[in-house]
Structure 1
Amino acid sequence: MKTVLPIGIMLLLLISCGSTGNILDKPITFNEERNSLTLEYLSDRYGLDRDTPQIDPKMIVLHWTVIPTFEKSFEAFDAPTLPNWRPEIKDLSGLNVSSQFMVDRDGTIYRLMPETTMARHVIGLNHCAIGVENVGGAADQPLTKAQLRSNVWLIRYLAEKYPIDYLIGHYEYQRFEDHPLWLEKDDSYRTKKTDPGVDFMTKVRNKVKDLNFKELPK
């Protein structure tokens, strides 16, 4: 016997299915100051002297913001320069942290800056890494199933466009210290990271096994 769904439920299903896969452009401020600071970062930290802050994507790095809302997370990244509450990294560069993408708790994907423009989101690897920030992540606000679905979709989207070799969680970045992709010149510049959590990364990896990313360095 064929089941007929009410029109309201059918519309709801169509809307929810269509939400994953849409990228909304919401650019952070990328003015001349941010451009200059990005070029300076590439030169001072990596020894890369370039005319434009372009990257050659080889890696996707997943993060969490530990900030409860998209609005506050966006605000944290929007200014070109670091806020006063990040003194531990400000002396190394005044460039504010950011990422190319941010995924809200309902799964909405926002593109904060061009995919191949450098963002400061992972030590040693910004020159080759596309960052994906997920809103939330605190103990009382774990990442959501909608965010998981959107991360998986976004990884597939990026892997189709670029020669992506690695998918990592931010907490795994130091495994690349002896890898050819690692360019950070200051051996003392390291910060301990836990995002986006081992459980979230395991779930993501299980859903993109077919993309056959390279194994991480031991």
Structure 2
Amino acid sequence: MDKPAVFLVLFFLIASCGIEKKIVDKPIIFNEEREQLTKEYLLNRYDITQDHIEIVPKIIVLHWTAIASLEKSYEAFYETKLPNWRPDLENVSGLNVSSHFLIGQNGTIYRLMPETLMARHVIGLNHAAIGIENVGGTEDTPLTRAQLKANIKLVKYLNSKYDIEYVIGHYEYTNFVGHELWLEKNENYRTTKTDPGEWFMKKVRKATKKLEFRQVPTN
């Protein structure tokens, strides 16, 4: 390995260690019941039968919670089963929505669960996707510059750990219908999304251009 290559490796190792120390662990409930519901989701939605819920991350999906506060956003993911205020998803699975990371309006990064366990945050792609949620996204609580910077740092960190191919906004998930990574069996199971906003994704992509992620497929 030549000197420039060694320097580059060391740079990424130092950068990764730096952000790892700043990530705050704030775990949601992940008990046997949630694990079993996750296995059932993998089987019923994706035809994946396995005795574990580990994933091989290929995609990072950026979201907003559309909830104004950190604690209320956290509470939305905390419980194992879907709460009563999400009856629209009850007929698909009782597994509650979740995400691997939650970023506060001040830019603090919270890790809710291990990156290599399946979270329910995006139709069709959960089996290969790391989810990053951002508190806010409403007219009264738009996403902040601190959140943007935190997303960029977190994307770079995750890319240094895993073979990430795509970084997408939640609103772009239907572009993967028909793609080899798309596994959702129900052709009618789709929801319209706008998070985390096109402007936000443009900023993230500009800042991570050198990582050469693949372009989002076009239908």
Determine the C-alpha separation between the residues in 2 that align with 1:162 and 1:20: 14
Q: Which runs of 5+ in 2 are unaligned?
A: 1-17
Identity %: 61
Please say which structure displays the higher CA radius of gyration.
1
| Alignment of 1:172 onto 2:172 | yes
Name 2:217's counterpart in structure 1: 217
What root-mean-square deviation, in Å, do the aligned CA atoms of Structure 1 and Structure 2 show? 1.2
Determine the C-alpha separation between the residues in 2 that align with 1:28 and 1:43: 23
Determine the C-alpha separation between the residues in 1 that align with 2:21 and 2:164: 19
Deviation at 1:20, TM superposition (A): 9.4
Report SS of the residue matched to 1:64.
coil
CA 1:62 to 1:166, structure 2 compared with 1: closer, same or farther past 3 Å?
same
1:1-218 to 2 correspondence within 5 Å? 22-218=22-218
CA deviation map 1:17-41 (0-9, x unaligned): x889711111000011101000000
CA deviation map 1:57-110 (0-9, x unaligned): 000000000111111100010000001111111111000001000000000000
Determine the C-alpha separation between the residues in 1 that align with 2:63 and 2:110: 14
Q: Give the alignment's TM-score, normalised by structure 2.
A: 0.90
Is 2:19–2:157's contact at 8 Å kept on the other side of the alignment?
no
CA deviation map 1:159-216 (0-9, x unaligned): 0000000000000000000100000000010000000001111111111101100011
Q: Give the alignment's TM-score, normalised by structure 1.
A: 0.90
Determine the C-alpha separation between the residues in 2 that align with 1:25 and 1:140: 27
Determine the C-alpha separation between the residues in 2 that align with 1:216 and 1:196: 15
Determine the C-alpha separation between the residues in 1 that align with 2:192 and 2:22: 33
Deviation at 1:141, TM superposition (A): 1.1
How many residues matched?
201
CA 1:194 to 1:107, structure 2 compared with 1: closer, same or farther past 3 Å?
same
Determine the C-alpha separation between the residues in 1 that align with 2:91 and 2:84: 11
Determine the C-alpha separation between the residues in 1 that align with 2:193 and 2:55: 23
CA 1:105 to 1:21, structure 2 compared with 1: closer, same or farther past 3 Å?
farther
Is 2:62–2:132's contact at 8 Å kept on the other side of the alignment?
yes
Q: Which portions of structure 1, spanning 4 or more consecutive aligned residues, are displaced by more than 6 angstroms? A: 18-21
Determine the C-alpha separation between the residues in 2 that align with 1:122 and 1:164: 16
Deviation at 1:47, TM superposition (A): 0.5
